[in-house]
Each structure stands twice: as structure tokens, then as C-alpha cells.
């Protein structure tokens, strides 16, 4: 399944991966259009860059502050720096290997825009599942999305309450 998911990503297709919070709809950067189309998502809402390690994020976006990233990540957070949102979730086996092999993926929840966050593969709308190049089933997940924290100004500002709490 790992090889199939990586091949689908490299072919420009979307894949479904479990994270530490909900199921994600992922594509390689540059192929985000497939995510927007499948979800019916407004293109003015950016998707996050998701990596298996902080090092991979810094390699993809060298302007990111490693010490700030390491304060929150890995964990159930999406960090916003200007127009860029980033995540390093605690990925389940299978998903971790796919993301590690891909380096960085563009990701958002695997639901229709505005729909409920999927805890199980069965919760993902059939039209999304059918259109994806691969699905990595990680069983039932917590179902609470990541906490979104805006760090653009340096002071943390919570944009969406979720699974994570601000560290001390």
C-alpha cells in the first residue's frame, strides 16, 4: 500500500492518509488542484504542507523558524506563517512511510468542504474515496481536527480550537 500511495502522489493524484487527528486528503505540492476539486473547497482557503519530520518542512520552506516549529511539532497543530500553514503530525504507521518518501505533501481533511471531519475511512464521502489513487487505512482516529495557530506576528493566536492545547 505504501508504494501504491507514493506512486499515486507522484502521478499527480490525491491519496487518503490517516493523521493523529482525522483522515487527510493529500497531494504533492503543485498538484493541490485535485484536492480543491474533490472537496469542493474555496481556492482562497490554503491547504497545509504536511511532513513526517520538522527537517523535511525546513528543507521545503527554508524561511521557517526551526525553534518555533520544534516548540509545537510533532503534534496536533497546524502552524500558520503568513500564507503558509504547516503540520508535522504524529503519523500512524503506513502514513508516516508515505509522507517520508514523498518529503512534503499538501493536505487538508478528507471531507467535502464544510462536512464532518472523518474519523474512519467509511466516514469519507464515497466520491472522494473513489477518485483517490490510494487509501491508507489507519483504523478509527480521534476525529478532532488540529488546532490552528497563527504565528505570523510571533505571538501565538488560535484560529481554530482543536486537538492540541497551547504549550506553556
Question: Is residue 168 assigned to a domain?
Answer: no
Question: Is residue 164 assigned to a domain?
Answer: no
Q: Which of 45, 58, 133, 121 is nearest to 88 (CA)?
A: 58
Question: Is residue 141 assigned to a domain?
Answer: yes
The whole-number pLDDT of residue 168 equals 61
The whole-number pLDDT of residue 154 equals 75
Question: Is residue 27 assigned to a domain?
Answer: yes
User: Across the chain, how many H-helices and E-strands are there?
Assistant: 6, 9
CATH no. for residue 25?
3.90.870.10
Count of domains forming the chain: 1
Instruction: Give Cβ neighbours of residue 30 (< 8 Å, ≥ 6 apart).
Output: none
Question: Is residue 60 assigned to a domain?
Answer: yes
Instruction: Give Cβ neighbours of residue 89 (< 8 Å, ≥ 6 apart).
Output: 19, 20, 21, 50, 74, 75, 76, 146
Question: Is residue 35 assigned to a domain?
Answer: yes
| pLDDT tens, position by position, 114-127 | 999 999 999 999 99
Burial class (CB in 10 A: 0-12, 13-18, 19+), 123: middle
The whole-number pLDDT of residue 165 equals 81
Question: Is residue 101 assigned to a domain?
Answer: yes
Question: Is residue 166 assigned to a domain?
Answer: no
**SS3 (DSSP) at 167:** coil
The whole-number pLDDT of residue 155 equals 86
The whole-number pLDDT of residue 1 equals 86
Q: Is the pLDDT of residue 13 over 90?
A: yes
Q: At 143, which helix (H) or strand (E)?
A: none
| pTM exceeding the 0.85 threshold for the entire prediction | yes
The whole-number pLDDT of residue 167 equals 66
The whole-number pLDDT of residue 40 equals 95
| pLDDT tens, position by position, 88-110 | 999 999 999 999 999 999 999 99
**In terms of residue numbers, what domain contains 147?**
2-158
Instruction: Give Cβ neighbours of residue 134 (< 8 Å, ≥ 6 apart).
Output: 1, 4, 5, 7, 8, 13, 15, 16
| pLDDT tens, position by position, 22-75 | 999 999 999 999 999 999 999 999 999 999 999 999 999 999 999 999 999 999
Amino acid at each position: 500500500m505504501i508504494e501504491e500511495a507514493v506512486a499515486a502522489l507522484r502521478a499527480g493524484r490525491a491519496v487518503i492518509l490517516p493523521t493523529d487527528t482525522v483522515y487527510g486528503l493529500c497531494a504533492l505540492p503543485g498538484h493541490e488542484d485535485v484536492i480543491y476539486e474533490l472537496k469542493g473547497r474555496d481556492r482562497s482557503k490554503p491547504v497545509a504542507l504536511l511532513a513526517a519530520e520538522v527537517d523535511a518542512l525546513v528543507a521545503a520552506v527554508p524561511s521557517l523558524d526551526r525553534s518555533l516549529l520544534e516548540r509545537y511539532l510533532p503534534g496536533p497543530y497546524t502552524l500558520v506563517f503568513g500564507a503558509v500553514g504547516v503540520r508535522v503530525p504524529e503519523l500512524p504507521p503506513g502514513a508516516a512511510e508515505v509522507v517520508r518518501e514523498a518529503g512534503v505533501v499538501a493536505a487538508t481533511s478528507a471531507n467535502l468542504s464544510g462536512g464532518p471531519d472523518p474519523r474512519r475511512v467509511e466516514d469519507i464521502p464515497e466520491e472522494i474515496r473513489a477518485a483517490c489513487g490510494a487509501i491508507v487505512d489507519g483504523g478509527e482516529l480521534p476525529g478532532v481536527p488540529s488546532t490552528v495557530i497563527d504565528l505570523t506576528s510571533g505571538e501565538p493566536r488560535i484560529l481554530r480550537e482543536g486537538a492540541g492545547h497551547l504549550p506553556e
